[in-house]
Amino acid sequence: MTMMTYRDALRQALIDQMKADDNVIIMGEEVGRYGGAYGVTKDLITMFGETRVLDTPISEAGIVGAAIGAAMTGLRPVAELMYVDFIGMTMDQLGNQAAKIRYMFGGQIGVPMVLRTQGGTGRSAGAQHSQSLEGYIMHTPGLRLAMPATVSDAYHLLRQAMAQPDPVVFIEHKGLYTLKQDVDLTREPPAWGEANVLRHGADLVIVTYSRQVHFALEAAPKLAATGIEATVIDLRTLNPLDFETIRPFVEQTGRAMVVTESVLTAGVAAELTARISEECFDFLHEPVIRVAGEDIPISVSPKLEAASVPTPALIEKIARKMFQ
Residues forming the active site: 60, 129
Q: Name 78's Cβ contacts closer than 8 Å, sequence gap at least 6.
A: 14, 24, 25, 26, 27, 113, 114, 116, 162
Instruction: State the Cα angle at 179 between 178 and 184, rounded to 5°.
Output: 120
Q: What is the amino acid identity at position 96?
A: N
The amino acid present at 143, given as its one-letter code, is L
107: how many CB neighbours lie within 10 A of its CB?
A: 8
Residue 37 makes CB contacts below 8 A (sequence gap 6+) with 29, 30, 80, 82
Residue 54 is inside which H or E element, if any?
A: strand 53-55
Burial code (b: 16+ CB inside 10 Å, e: under 16) for 270-287 equals bbbbebbeeebeebbeee
- Is 131 within 8 Å of 88 (Cβ atoms)? no
How far, rounded to the nearest angstrom, does the alpha carbon of residue 202 sit from its chain's CA centroid? 27
Residues in the chain: 324
